Amino acid sequence: MRVLIYGGSFNPPHLGHLRSVQTAVKALRPDKTLLIPAADPPHKALAAGTPAKEHRLAMTALAAEVLPGCEASDMEIRRAGPSYTSDTLRELQAAYPEAELIFLMGTDMLLSIETWHEPEVIMALASLAVFAREAGREGEISTQVEHLREAYGAAVYVLDGEPVTVSSTQVRALLPMRQGREYLTDGVYAYIIRHRLYGAQPDLDWLREKAYAYLKPTRVAHVKGAEEMARRLAVRWGEDESDAAEAAILHDITKKTVGPDQLRLGEKYGIMADKWELENFELLHAKTGAAFAKDVFGVPDHIADAIRYHTTGWPGMTRLEQIVYLADAIELGRKPYPALEAIRKAAFQDLDAAVELCARRTLSYVAERGLPIHPDTAKTQQYYLKKLEDKGAFPIQLDGDANE
């Protein structure tokens, strides 16, 4: 039996790690492959902002899922003190007494192994596997392999493959810029986004793909339109365009859930429906959508709030909240309704006036149909009406206002 072992901080585990494992598996054909994240790497300090070890273990387990016969081990995560390889190999030898243990390592690890804790124990308990071809270092690798064989009797497999050069450091730097997902499995990337590890912000193409899967196909066009309008308004008003896009992409994420199921979703997130929402379950989708977006996509509070208030509005909304509230109502695919063009025009001239008019039109629409008027919408309209008056502006008047 052969057990291939690959240890590291896995901070995060990326496709470079997996490519190395795939190459080693093809050459060595182990019966089992273990990815072992270190709790406390003895050779270098973990980078600032490193997630808790439990997160690194969870990510490693997700990465391992894509490789047949591969699994993540928590043995170093569980063990107190520095994560010495010699201790790990002792534990593995006890678990697999008849197995050949093969320790997969990179070039730097091979060249520095004599500085490790108990290097003689490592080479007594396990064979080493290393890549032969790293540009400019082939001779250095060959010399070290011969030295270890002679000095320690080490068994060394030299793998015919080039290691992938991407590093966890590079990936961590890309994630806050909505980049880097191409270096991660989808499961690992989704986990990072859900927990917002490394200050990550989601790649918007990825977010669209995931979000649209939760929508009715007929709603996708509206969400695309809301995103485009939110982007345009964000540029006009100096808000973060990507934040506006993220909120708009997710604003209707639970809209597909209807009837009592919407109420049950609210209960799952501890949302108590008010009497107006109990009469019209559809109103709940803004609240449940905000909670769902935080749970599944890890959105920060300011984006969750923009989702939360996009239906009824709220007095004193932030600019981002105003933008998403308006984008939902005036995206270019909206069927024409009274005041639509006026609200669109106002949205690029005076956000407060646009919000007041949008809330006023909502109140009129709801009243015409005999539906319950949510007090948050009435409060929103009154708040922005007063705000306009306080700054000496006037609410927008429409033809036929007196008759509505």
For 247-259, the three-class secondary structure string (H helix, E strand, C coil) is HHHHCCCCCCCCC
Instruction: Give pLDDT, residue 404.
Output: 35
Give the fold, CATH level 3, of 2-186. Rossmann fold (3.40.50)
Calpha distance 161→135 (Å, rounded)? 11
Which residues 6+ apart lie within 8 Å of 254 measured at CB? Answer: 214, 262, 265, 285, 288, 289, 292
DSSP class of residue 173 equals H
CATH of 204-403, one of 1.10.3210.10, 3.20.20.210, 1.10.1060.10, 2.40.37.10: 1.10.3210.10
Residue showing tokens 């054909």:
29
Output the tens digit of pLDDT for each of the chain's 404 residues.
999 999 999 999 999 999 999 999 999 999 999 999 999 888 778 888 899 999 999 999 999 999 999 999 999 999 988 999 999 999 999 999 999 999 999 888 899 999 999 999 999 999 999 986 566 677 888 899 999 999 999 999 999 876 667 899 999 999 999 999 999 999 999 999 999 999 999 999 999 999 999 999 999 999 999 999 999 999 999 999 999 999 999 999 999 999 899 999 999 999 988 888 888 888 899 999 999 999 999 999 999 999 999 999 999 999 999 999 999 999 999 999 989 999 999 999 999 999 999 999 999 998 888 888 899 999 999 999 999 999 999 899 876 553 33
Number of other CB atoms surrounding residue 349 within 10 Å = 10
User: What residues pair up with 284 in beta bridges, in sequence order?
Assistant: none
Q: What b/e sequence results for 105-127 when a residue is b if at least 16 CB atoms lie within 10 Å of its CB, and e otherwise?
A: bbbebbbebeebeebebbbebbb
pTM of the predicted structure, to 2 decimals = 0.93
Burial class (CB within 10 angstroms; exposed 0-12, middle 13-18, buried 19+) of 368: exposed
Using a 10 angstrom Cβ sphere, with 0-12 exposed, 13-18 middle and 19 or more buried, the burial of residue 33 is buried
Tell me the two tokens of residue 52: 């808790």
Contact yes or no for 286/258 (Cβ under 8 A): no
Instruction: Give Cα separations from 175 to 178, 192, 255, 332 (angstroms).
Output: 5, 9, 29, 32
The domain segmentation of the chain, as residue ranges, is 2-186, 204-403
> Where are the alpha helices (H) located in 113-254, listed in sequence order?
119-125, 138-152, 168-174, 186-195, 204-212, 217-237, 241-250
Q: How far apart are CA 321 and CA 304, in angstroms?
A: 9
What phi and psi values does residue 308 have, to the nearest 5 degrees?
Answer: -55, -40
Cα 214 from Cα 217, distance rounded (Å): 9
Residue type, 370: G
- C-alpha distances (whole Å) from 152 to each of 119, 132, 135, 185, 338 are 9, 20, 27, 38, 85
